[in-house]
Amino acid sequence: MELVIDRLSKTYPNGVRALNEVSLTIGTGMFGLLGPNGAGKSTLMRTIATLQQADGGTIRLGSIDVLRQPDEVRRRLGYLPQEFGLYPNLSAEHTLDHFATMKGVTDGGERKQLVAHLLEQTNLADVRKKHVGTFSGGMKQRLGIAIALAGRPELLIVDEPTAGLDPTERHRFLNLLGEIGQDIIVILSTHIVEDVRELCRAMAIIHKGQVVASGAPSEIVGELEGRVWKKRSTKAELPGLQAAHDVILVRLLAGVPVVHVLADSHPGEGFEPVEPDLEDVYFHRIGLAAEREAVA
Amino acid sequence: MTLFGSVYRFEVGYHLRRPVTLVYFGVFFGLAFLFASSDVVTMSGAGALVKRNAPLVVAMLMQVFTLIGAVMLTAVAGAAVLRDFQYGSHELLFTTSITKTAYLGGRFLGACTVVALLHLALPLGVIVGSAMPWVDREQLLAFNLTTYVRPFFTLLLPSVLLVSAIFFAVGALTRNLFWVYTQGIFLLVGYSISGSLTSKLDNRVLAALLDPLGLRALEEFTRYWSTAERNQLAVPLTGVVLANRLLWLGVALAIFALTFVVFKFRSAPPTLRRRKAKAEKAVARAAPAAAPASLTLRDGFAARWRQYLSVTRLSFATVTRNMVFLAITTVLIVNLAMAGWYADSLYGQTVWPVTYTMIEVMDPNFMIFFFVLVTIFAGEAIWRERQLKLDQVTDALPIPTSVSVLGKFTGLALIWAGLLGIAILAGVVLQTLKGYYNYELGLYFRYYFGVSYPILLQITALAFFVHALVNHKFAGHLVMIVFIVGTLVLRSLGVEHQLFHYGSAAPLTYSDMNRFGPFVPNLVWSFVYWSGVAILFGLGALALWVRGTGFTLRERIRTAGGRLGLTSRALGLAGLVAALIGGGVIFYNANVLNHYESSKAARKRQALYERTYKSLEHTRQPRLIDADVRADLEPEHRRFAVAGTFTFVNRHEAALDTLIVTSAQPELTIDTLSWSRPTESLVSDSALGTRILRLREPLAPGDTIKLRYRARWIERGFGNDGVNTDIVENGTFINSQYFPALGYQPGGELGSDEARRKEKLPERERMPRLGDESARANTYLGNDSDWITFRATVSTVPDQIAIAPGYLQREYEENGRRVFEYVMDRPILNFYSFLSARYNVVREEHDGIRLEIYYQPGHEYNLDRMMESMKKSLDYYGANFSPYQFRQVRIIEFPRYAGFAQAFPNTVPYSESIGFILRQKQGDDDLDMPFYVTAHEVGHQWWAHQVIGARMQGSTLMSESMSNYAALTVLEKDLGPSRLRKFLAHEADRYLTGRANETKKEMPLYLVENQAYIHYNKGSLVLYALRDLIGEDAMNQALSAYLRDKAFQQPPYTTSAEFLSYLEAVTPDSLAYALEDFFRTITLWDFETESAEATAVPGGGYRVRVAVKAKKFRADSVGNQTEIPVHDLVDVGVFGAREPGNSLGKPLVMERHWVTGDTTFEFTVREAPEKAGIDPYNKLIDRDARNNVKSVSTVGGAAAVAQAGRATGSP
């Protein structure tokens, strides 16, 4: 099964161009969708999740036309939106039971087993009788993923799932995703580069509604191989450096600014080569897109 | 202080910037505007003669709205502190340098200011509304600023302060959204509970004091204000009003002080008992669950069904677990139970808590409350997922939208059913508590689930549609509120056809005799029609349902069709068909089978009648002398035929050639109307019920002419405003309006001044003036007859008994009908009726007079008392007035479509609601209404059916007042004077409140123009007082002489002036003033006991000094008073220890003295005096009756002189 997005466009009534001819091909396994806030990630995901119409372009899931056959998609879909709430007065078990029924698991025995398994899998079995209103952010997020998984989806879309989670919760959550994401398509949108690096087989970077890079993380990183240099700098020096070089990013390390610049050859005194990582690529690509826009 | 100032400014500014504040302001302004400029919003206290912007009316408006506002404004004051906790800003705030004083004080005063500013909308609304050009200037006073300023500061601001303080305290101390949202409703409930206290006469002052908003204090203080006073006097700030305001201002301050002390600057709310953090209960852990081996995703019908059930269950659970919902329903149930608890009191009487009285607690007002609940929670249910931000998850689920919409709807439907179930339970529990065990569960179910429930579902469907269409929660709620308000005012806006009243039930009065009776067809078709429309609304909601994001209304409308599957379309078709058929049937019934007439059209028709035929008013007509009538009743088909032969004679000195035949029922089908002499038709105006004929040969004086008449009434289906309840399956009661009358009928003219102004008709006197000799030609019962001979034949279904005036001659079966023949053996007034029902009968004979009560099986409660009353009445009237002219008295129960009893010759139709289910408790000192009403109606056999006044002012004195007098005399002899005093206290209250609501002008009793509060209530009071003054013997002497001279007289008929002359003849000159005061003028007294002091007398006993003030006033027709000198014979009394049956205590002295102004009396009594005063039993009409008696204070010291003191003012 493959999800093929072809020249998908969407402009909101207020003139915001959320998607601009986005084309992507997504296979099974974890797919990371990286981009700053407002890049169009959520619009893209909602459109795939049948919650929104596009102005142009197509999405196909295997042989299903996503925009025309929403019911077919919904049957195969697990969707966890960026921000969501749950019925506060319902127990985790009741909630999950309800959603499993909604997904079509209407056989009582099967559903019972499924709910128990999902609670186990998301480590919520102990609190299954508790009202969801009392849950912490991480617990709620895990219950959310359990809901998304309830119908054994072939396509799982999770939008910014780790925002607001503490490191332990985040790890636990990503491990869970990693487990699931072996055989199905999982689209994970995030603005945290690390999430993608740790988990995804493939990825895309979106900025202002456009795909600015896509491929396997290693491929994307590969294009910067040998071209990234870093230098420990000072605050006073920074403006000069930014004027003279193609600065990808400035990072503070124990209070000292460390500058990454892109250069095909050694950029000069104090710079040393550095192994590029996804973050460099991300900022580089975003920066490029911004420049293009400034020129245009 | 600056800190305080900034908190204050922040609070005020915060609210002023919120749009909802503007909405509240708008609502207040709008309602006040509508009140002042239209009839859409009305208020008690503003009678027809009281101006819309009179000071008292404006003040009451403000107070009523504080109560309404309390519910709305909970959020302003209640949330003032809570808001910080809600948004989590409290931790930020409490760590700043802000002080508790500045914080609480600023927030509180800020909230108060905002609330006060909002209430400014009320005076503004009235000022602007009354300035509108279309407002009738007659209904307004000139603008006066103090009218608005004074009550705003003296009455409204303390209330605002109090309500704000309560809400603020609750918000700050509980920090619980539940309480904040519901406290307003709790306040309302508390208010209505304290209101039930007021209904008991003795508690009125207490209730006035306890009213936190002071409305009842103002009502109590101005209860007996006359029209003139209501229009002129400024709102009082004395007496009980002042006491009330001070009391509650104090309470407000105390509450705020308490809040200040208890409120802690810390994060957790102060709790008395901290809820123990529940130890994390480890749920027993089963062995790690394996993933199910196989997982089948289903989407067949069975799966959809399970999904629907799951949504239903969820919808039910989420609403019922919502705290606000629980709170509001708790309030609802408590309110219902409260109302149910008082459901068995009816006009100060106790009735048996029969099931329909419990059910009718859920009256239209209650339904409105229910509507609000339904619309709010329907809206909440629709918005729940979006509110929780769960919509994206649920919208992406693989289920059809219809499953989730239908599931939500069903969940709500189950909740409403549960609430009605609780209402039934509450009713049954209350009945049990009151010792009534005939529960009639079937009736509960049919009423609640057959009538009320469909309406709740229909409104829920509408709410679904509105919210789907508008797709904005607040706007959706607003539209629904507009709808609910619309249902209230639509009728007064002139939209009267029931096809436009969505969610309203057809009119319905349940009767034990006739069950749901004739109302069923309309109920059924309304149900079909509105259910059809509701289905369409539901499908509309489904089609427009918002699923996913970013769809505009236009897109949703464009794709709406595609969302409806085959089933939905089929359902839609069914709904459409139901709506069309139901609507069609209703239209056919209301407009085709029956004549649809709006109230405006009816008014125009009446005006047209007057314009067209008034000129014929004095055209001389022959008089009816004999009526031989027949009524063939078919209750099972709701139709009847009437027929008769009427003999008329020309009593005039000239020959007559014109006959005017008037039929009061334009819908009657007249088959035969033939005269025994040749006539030709001049006018045949069936629309106005008037036919004019010319006699070919004039009818010579003394000659007779016969009219043969035959007409049919077929009740076809139902009309827009209900059905004719005269002919019903069980409990038919029809009167002579189905028979023709001769001559122009002034009774058909428009009566109300306002309607006449609208129709540009001249002002009309209610009655011809006393002294208008021409008016003495007729009695006030009709203008075509004097005393007639009468016989009647009535046929009905075999299992019913049919009754008409007269004595039963023969009863037989004919063509499967049961036929009764009645003959009256002496002349009676032209005033008869026919009744038929499945009756049980009790019969007794008393001194040769047959007494019979025809009643509905099950209504045996008061038969004994009625029988007793008939006997005692006949005995007393027969011995003291004149012999009874008939050999029989029959009381006949009829359904509660009307709530009166009415006396026909030897026949008394008596509503099931006014005596048959009244409850007399053991040792109860309630009035014995079955006894009293029976005595009153038997009294009419003398006072109306022996002597009857002319159609002019004052005539009801000799019928209604005298029947009341007769009845209360018998009542007093049966129950004793103390119970009667209670009755008279009610009569005084009704008279004094009645005159305050006079719509035209108050008349002295002897000029009464059929004004109930005068001829009944004042009549009782003054005739009793007169008897008390001149003695029972003198009274009876006058009455029997009057009857002897005037009974069964021919025209000219007697007048109140004649009646008074008989009373005058037995009244000593020294008391003649009383006749003047009681009958010829409107006179009020004001007695007050200023001091009552007792001194112990050596050797035992006490000397009591009682200082009294006495004033007397004459009032004009609107209540302007002029003081006149007092020289009256009045009771003065001293009372001792409490005594059963005498609320004042054992009378130690009860003497009658001449009183002129301020007088001091001295008495010596043996026993310890407790109370003393002037006119202690309130025999004279006094607006402040309570200060007549004072507790006796004992003066220390032994300066007592043992002289037996006599009253210094005695003659």
CB A70 within 8 A of CB A64: no
Q: Which two tokens stand for residue B670?
A: 């007249």
* A52 contacts in chain B (CB < 8 Å): 548-550
Lowest mean pLDDT among A239-248, B295-304, B357-366, B752-761: B357-366
Cα separation, B768 vs B951, in Å, equals 7
Distance CA B547, CA B339 (A): 43
Q: How distant is the Cα of B59 from the closest Cα of chain A, in angstroms?
A: 46
Q: To the nearest whole angstrom, how far is the Cα of B254 from the nearest Cα of chain A?
A: 37
- Whether the upstream peptide bond of residue B1052 has omega within 30° of 0, thus cis, is yes
Is the model's pLDDT at B1129 over the cut of 90? yes
Higher pLDDT, B622 or A201: B622
pLDDT at B1199 over 50: no
C-beta atoms of A51 and B299 within 8 A: no
Are B392 and A51 in contact (CB < 8 Å)? yes
A39 or B70: which leads in pLDDT: A39
- Kindly tell me if the per-residue pLDDT of B270 is higher than 70: no
Q: Which residue of chain A is at minimal alpha-carbon distance from B395?
A: A51
Average pLDDT value for residue range B179-193: 68
**Partner-chain contact A75 B318, CB within 8 Å:** no
- Mind giving me the DSSP string for B1069-1103? GGGHHHHIIIIISEEEEEEEEEEEEEEEPTTS-EE
Least confident of B192-196, B375-379, B446-450, B862-866: B192-196
Q: Give backbone dihedrals phi and psi of B604, rounded to 5 degrees, phi first.
A: -65, -40
> What pLDDT, on a 0 to 100 scale, did the predictor assign at position B638?
93
- The beta-carbon neighbor of A101 closest among B283, B307, B551 is B307
pLDDT score for B267: 53
Are the Cβ atoms of A85 and B550 closer than 8 angstroms?
Answer: no
Q: Is the pLDDT of residue B585 over 70?
A: yes
Nearest chain B residue to A128 by CA distance is B283
What average pLDDT is seen over chain B? 87
Please check the confidence at residue B195 and state whether its pLDDT lies above 70: no
State residue B809's pLDDT score.
96
d(C-alpha A245, C-alpha B220), whole Å: 89
- Quick one: what percent of chain B has pLDDT higher than 70? 91
Share of chain B above pLDDT 90, in %: 56
Cα B1053 to the center of its chain, rounded Å:
37
Average pLDDT rounded to a whole number, residues B529-542: 95
Distance of alpha carbon B436 from its chain centroid, rounded?
Answer: 25
CB under 8 Å to B133, separation ≥6 — which residues? none
B1103 or B374, higher pLDDT: B1103
What is the spatial distance between Cα B125 and Cα B120, in angstroms, rounded to a whole number? 9
Q: Say what the pLDDT of residue B391 is.
A: 92
Tell whether the model's pLDDT for residue B372 goes beyond 90. Answer: no
**Measured CA distances, A40 to A11, A51, A77, A84, A209 (Å):** 10, 14, 20, 18, 5
Residues of chain A with pLDDT under 70: 293-296
* The predicted structure's pLDDT at residue B199: 57
Q: What is the pLDDT at residue B86?
A: 64
B483-515 confidence digits (pLDDT tens) = 887 877 777 777 889 999 998 878 889 999 999
Nearest residue of chain B to residue A13 (CA atoms): B550
Of residues B613 and B76, the one with the higher pLDDT is B613
Top pLDDT among B40 and B503 is at B503
Of A25-34, B50-59, B701-710, the range with the highest mean pLDDT is B701-710
Question: What pLDDT does residue B182 have?
Answer: 66
Sorted by sequence, the CB contacts under 8 Å of residue B181 that are 6+ apart come out as B74, B75, B78, B324, B327
* Structural tokens at position B437: 């065990």
Min Cα separation A84/chain B (Å): 5
Q: How confident is the model at residue B925 (pLDDT cuts 50, 70, 90)?
A: low
Q: What pLDDT score does B1204 carry?
A: 37
pLDDT at B363 (0 to 100): 67
Q: Is the pLDDT of residue B992 over 70?
A: yes
Determine the residue of chain A that is closest to B288 in CA distance.
A120
In sequence order, the 6+-apart residues with CB closer than 8 A to the CB of B99 are B3
The DSSP line for B179-198 is: HHHHHHHHHHHHHHHHHHHH
In the predicted model, is pLDDT for residue B148 greater than 80? Answer: yes
For residue B93, name the pLDDT band (cuts at 50, 70, 90): low
- Give me the pLDDT at residue B202, please: 60
The pLDDT confidence band at residue B661, using thresholds 50, 70 and 90, is: very high
Residues B1142, B1144, B1147, B1153, CA torsion sign: negative
Chain A positions in Cβ-Cβ contact with residue B407 (cut-off 8 Å): none
Read off the pLDDT band of B87 (50, 70, 90): low
Taking the C-alpha atoms of residue B384 and residue A112, their distance in angstroms, rounded to an integer, is 26
pLDDT at B269 over 60: no
The DSSP output letter for B932 is: H
Residue B387: the pLDDT is 86
Residue B392, pLDDT > 80, answer: yes
DSSP 8-class letter at B773: G
Residue B287: pLDDT band (50, 70, 90) is low
Among B14-28, B328-342, B420-434, the range with the most confident prediction by mean pLDDT is B420-434
SS3 assignment, position B704: strand
Amino acid B926: pLDDT: 66
Q: Residue B609: pLDDT above 80?
A: yes
B/e letters for B475-485, b = 16+ CB within 10 Å, e = fewer, are ebbebbeebbb
Per-residue confidence (pLDDT) for residue B328, from 0 to 100:
74
Inter-chain contacts counted by CB atoms under 8 A, chains A and B: 140
CB contact set of B1069 (below 8 Å; sequence gap of 6+): none
| DSSP state, residue B623 | E
Per-residue pLDDT at A277:
83
User: Which residues numbered 224-253 in A keep a CB inside 8 Å of some CB on B?
Assistant: none
Of A122-131, A284-293, B200-209, B771-780, least confident by mean pLDDT is B200-209
For residues B648-672, average pLDDT: 92
pLDDT in tens, B1051-1068: 999 999 999 999 999 999
- Identify which has the larger pLDDT, A181 or B1086: B1086
Residue B875 near chain A (CB below 8 Å)? no
Which residues of chain A lie closer than 8 angstroms to B303, CB-CB? 104, 106
Three-state SS across B992-1038? HHHHHCCCCCCCCHHHCCCCHHHHHHHHHHHHHHHHHHHCHHHHHHH
DSSP B497-524: -GGG-TT-PPP---BTTTBTGGGHHHHH
Of B289, B292, B389, the CB nearest to A83: B389
Higher pLDDT: A288 or B715? It is B715
Tell me the mean pLDDT in the region B424-438.
Answer: 92
Of the pLDDT bands very low, low, confident and very high (cuts 50, 70, 90), residue B265 is low
Of the pLDDT bands very low, low, confident and very high (cuts 50, 70, 90), residue B233 is confident
Taking the Cβ of residue A26 and every Cβ of chain B, the question of whether any pair is shorter than 8 Å is answered with: no
Which string of b and e fits B36-48 if b means at least 16 CB within 10 Å? bbbebbeeebbbe
Question: What is the token pair recorded at B739?
Answer: 């028979």
Q: According to the model, what pLDDT value does residue B1066 have?
A: 97
* Weakest mean pLDDT among B54-63, B131-140, B440-449: B131-140
Q: How far apart are CA B457 and CA B377, in angstroms?
A: 12
Does residue B295 belong to the interface with chain A, where contact is any CB pair within 8 Å? Answer: yes
Query: Are B12 and B102 a contacting pair, CB within 8 Å?
Result: no
Q: Is A101 on the interface with B (CB under 8 A)?
A: yes
Picking from A37, A4, A47, A48, the residue whose alpha carbon sits closest to that of residue A23 is: A4
Give the residue among A161, A3, A147, A7 at the shortest CA–CA distance from A73: A3
* Cα radius of gyration rounded to whole Å, chain B: 35
Q: Cα–Cα distance between A10 and A208 in angstroms, integer?
A: 12
pTM, full prediction: 0.86
Two tokens at B584?
A: 């069609």
Q: For residue B1202, what pLDDT band results from cuts at 50, 70 and 90? A: very low
